[in-house]
């Protein structure tokens, strides 16, 4: 199976290339790039790690599959000793004191982190324009947004600046930028990968996941990062997904899609036509396709944002400049908190924190927040019923092509509504993969909870079918 990781591993083992030369080449590409993907480079540690890999190979020692493979990390993950800014003014000089579990597992496997990647501040955005490091430019067309919030990660992979990158997905933040930059991006089942060490946005839907150029690389990285972790008690133990388990489409008999997604007023006619053409090709392969009923898009988006804002208001309340962060002193403690937060949070972050405190306050919580929780339960129940009827749900990633840089910031409501196809799967905590096929921004493949194997299997089938 096509795999950039395996290809580079082979080149290292056969001494066609050195790890130092490989890492240096990628660092140079990152330094010269004009897409604003880099918040900070980890140059010294990367070259030091590469030299160790070269020494092992020179000594005739075996190296693991991920050993010496350069990768990128969205700048919301703790990596001890590195700046972890969340692309914000508040944390622009904050250094991680410890390392996130998912990243530590990759380090233990020998992968080499090169870069902390640009993203929307605290994950608040769908375009990677809400950042102090400059809007991330799309890998294909620099006038367009990269998508978000893991925009820097998606562009780095698409441009081959990193072999794979680790993003974070709360409402679509891996899948949508993957679609906008024509690569693969996986949001695993909630709890498959530990959240310990990711800067919390909305803890009930935050997921760690890989972005890469091949299905096989997604599988390899997913296997390494998965597993139960005492530091995140929502994690569960999962089995390794074997390569030969995802090569045949056996087991996928029925595919469903949401009728109202395709009949939505917001969908671009080309995206609709391309999606329906993909459905016809799947049918032609003998797979049964069913139309499914689902919640209206505005209900999905509103439920997601109600809960996400409530959770982010709570999670970000710790950011007051007392123990860390860019404190701005004022006449007393309360004023210091308020000035620090007012001056250091972006407009979008403030909008979400205020929205969250609104729905959690007396008088609003019953009418909005608790109702949002009830709706989420109904959405999840709906998915459970769907997966009794179908093996896979297929959807577009976005209703239209990426917007031009500058447009999303002018109209926050339009930006929220553009997440209409991704947020439902976050609320359902389901494994969902973006594949760069089918429509201009790709397709999403979703399976029942904990069934990443089925998702990857169907992705391989689509690769040969579309």
Partner 1 sequence: MSKIMTVDILSSIKGAKPSESVNQLFDVIRNAHPTNNNAANNVNINAVSVSDLREDVVVESGEIEREIIKENFPNEKDGYLVVSKVIED
Residue 281 falls in the annotated catalytic set? no
Give the binding range for partner 1 (CB under 8 A) out of 26-34, 162-170, 407-415, 450-458.
407-415
What does DSSP say about strands 184-187 and 432-435: parallel, antiparallel, or unpaired? antiparallel
Is the CB of 109 or the CB of 339 nearer to partner 1?
339
Q: Alpha-carbon Rg of the chain, whole angstroms?
A: 21
Among 86, 114, 208, 353, binds partner 1 (CB under 8 A): 353
User: Rounded to an integer, what distance in angstroms lies between the CA atom of residue 243 and that of residue 216?
Assistant: 8
Output the smallest distance, CB 167 to partner 1, in A.
21
96 is a catalytic site residue: no
For the segment 2-31, give every residue that binds partner 1 (CB under 8 A): none
> By CB under 8 A, what part of segment 61-80 binds partner 1?
80
Instruction: Report the C-alpha gap between 258 and 29 in whole angstroms.
Output: 41
Answer for which of 122, 416, 421, 458 binds partner 1 (CB under 8 A) is 416
H helices then E strands: how many in the chain? 17, 11
Q: Which one of 429, 434, 439, 444 is in contact with partner 1 (CB under 8 A)?
A: 429
Our answer to whether residue 56 is catalytic in this structure is no
| Catalytic option among 87, 127, 173, 297 | 173
Distance of CA 171 to the CA centre of its chain: 9
Whole-number minimum distance, CB 317 to partner 1, in Å? 8
Spatial CA neighbour of 181 closest among 401, 4, 414: 401
d(CA 92, CA 256): 45
Nearest to 359 by CA among 202, 124, 234, 125: 202
Range 193-212, binding partner 1 (CB under 8 A)? 204
Contact set for partner 1, span 269-328 (CB under 8 A): 298-299, 301-303, 305-306, 309, 313, 317, 320-327
Regarding 334 and contact with partner 1 (CB under 8 A), the answer is yes
Minimum Å gap between C-beta 280 and partner 1 is 33
Specify burial of residue 100 (Cβ count, 10 A radius: 0-12, 13-18, 19+): buried
Question: Contacting partner 1 (CB under 8 A), which of 107, 412, 465, 466?
Answer: 412
State the nearest-atom distance from the C-beta of 81 to partner 1, in Å: 7
| DSSP per-residue codes, 65-103 | TTTT-EEEEETTB--TTSB--TT-STTTT-B-SS--HHH
> Using the rule CB under 8 A, is 378 a contact of partner 1?
yes
Residues 220-259 that bind partner 1 (CB under 8 A): 230, 233-234
Q: Closer to partner 1 by CB, 219 or 449: give it.
A: 449
- Residue 52 CA, distance from chain mean position: 30
**Which range binds partner 1 by CB under 8 A, 175-183, 355-363, 397-405, 436-444?**
355-363
Q: How far apart are the first and last CA of the chain?
A: 17
C-beta of 32 vs 332, nearer to partner 1: 332
Peptide bond connecting 149 to the previous residue in cis, omega within 30 degrees of 0: yes
d(CA 420, CA 408): 15
Contact status, residue 256 vs residue 386, Cβ threshold 8 Å: yes
Cα–Cα distance between 371 and 452 in angstroms, integer? 30
Cβ proximity to partner 1: between 52 and 350 the closer is 350
Q: Say which of 3, 126, 146, 149 is annotated catalytic.
A: 149
CB-nearer residue toward partner 1: 20 or 235: 235
Q: Does 380 bind partner 1 (CB under 8 A)?
A: yes
Total residues contacting partner 1 by CB under 8 A comes to 75
For residues 53 and 18, is the Cβ–Cβ distance under 8 A?
no
Measured distance CA(357)–CA(345) in Å, rounded: 15
Place of tokens 């009827």: 389
Nearer to partner 1, 242 or 414 (CB): 414
Piece of 144-152, 260-268, 364-372, 432-440 that binds partner 1 (CB under 8 A): 364-372
For partner 1, give the closer residue by CB, 372 or 442.
Answer: 372
Q: Residue for token digits 């509504």?
A: 417
Distances 78 to 174, 208, 259, 405 between C-alpha atoms, Å: 18, 13, 41, 29
Please select the residue that binds partner 1; options are 2, 55, 58, 98, rule is CB under 8 A: 98
Contacts with partner 1, 147-186, as mask; x by CB under 8 A: ----------------------------------------
Contacting residue, 184, 345, 425, 458, with partner 1 by CB under 8 A: 345
When binding is defined by CB under 8 A, the residue of 374, 389, 404, 406 that contacts partner 1 is 374
Q: Which residues are catalytic?
A: 74, 149, 173
């Amino acid at each position: 199976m096509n795999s950039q990781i395996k290809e580079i591993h082979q080149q290292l083992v056969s001494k066609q290339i050195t790890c130092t030369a490989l890492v240096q080449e990628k660092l140079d590409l990152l330094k010269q790039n004009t897409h604003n993907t880099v918040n900070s480079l980890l140059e010294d540690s990367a070259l030091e790690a590469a030299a160790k890999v070269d020494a092992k190979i020179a000594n005739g020692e075996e190296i693991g599959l991920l050993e010496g493979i350069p990768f990128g990390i969205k700048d919301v993950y703790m990596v001890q000793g590195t700046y972890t800014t969340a692309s914000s003014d508040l944390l622009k000089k904050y250094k991680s004191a410890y390392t996130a579990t998912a990243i530590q597992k990759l380090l233990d496997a020998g992968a080499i982190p090169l870069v902390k990647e640009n993203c929307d501040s605290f994950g608040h955005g769908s375009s990677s324009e809400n950042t102090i490091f400059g809007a991330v430019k799309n890998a294909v067309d620099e006038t367009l947004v990269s998508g978000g919030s893991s925009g820097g990660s998606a562009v780095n992979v698409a441009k081959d600046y990193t072999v794979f990158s680790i993003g974070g997905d709360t409402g679509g933040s891996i899948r949508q930028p993957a679609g906008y930059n024509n690569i693969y991006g996986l949001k695993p089942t909630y709890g498959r990968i530990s959240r310990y060490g990711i800067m919390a946005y909305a803890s009930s839907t935050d997921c760690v996941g890989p972005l890469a150029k091949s299905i096989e690389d997604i599988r390899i990285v997913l296997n390494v990062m998965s597993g139960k972790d005492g530091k995140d008690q929502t994690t569960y133990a999962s089995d390794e997904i074997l390569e030969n388990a995802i090569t045949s489409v056996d087991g996928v008999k029925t595919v469903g899609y949401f009728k109202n997604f395709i009949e939505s007023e917001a969908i671009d006619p080309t995206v609709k036509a391309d999606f329906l053409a993909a459905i016809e090709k799947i049918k032609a392969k003998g797979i049964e396709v069913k139309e499914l009923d689902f919640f209206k898009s505005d209900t999905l988006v509103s439920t997601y944002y109600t809960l996400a804002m409530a959770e982010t208001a709570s999670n970000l309340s710790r950011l007051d400049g007392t123990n860390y962060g860019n404190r701005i002193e004022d006449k007393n403690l309360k004023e210091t908190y308020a000035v620090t937060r007012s001056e250091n949070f972006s407009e979008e972050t403030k909008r979400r924190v205020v929205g969250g405190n609104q729905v959690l306050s007396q008088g609003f919580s019953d009418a909005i927040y608790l109702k949002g929780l009830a709706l989420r339960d109904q959405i999840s129940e709906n998915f459970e019923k769907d997966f009794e009827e179908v093996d896979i749900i297929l959807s577009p990633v976005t209703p239209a092509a990426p917007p031009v840089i500058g447009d999303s910031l002018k109209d926050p409501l339009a930006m929220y509504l553009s997440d209409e196809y991704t947020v439902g799967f976050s609320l359902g905590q389901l494994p969902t993969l973006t594949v760069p096929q089918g429509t201009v921004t790709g397709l999403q493949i979703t399976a029942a909870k904990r069934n990443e194997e089925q998702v990857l299997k169907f992705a391989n089938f689509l690769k040969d079918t579309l």
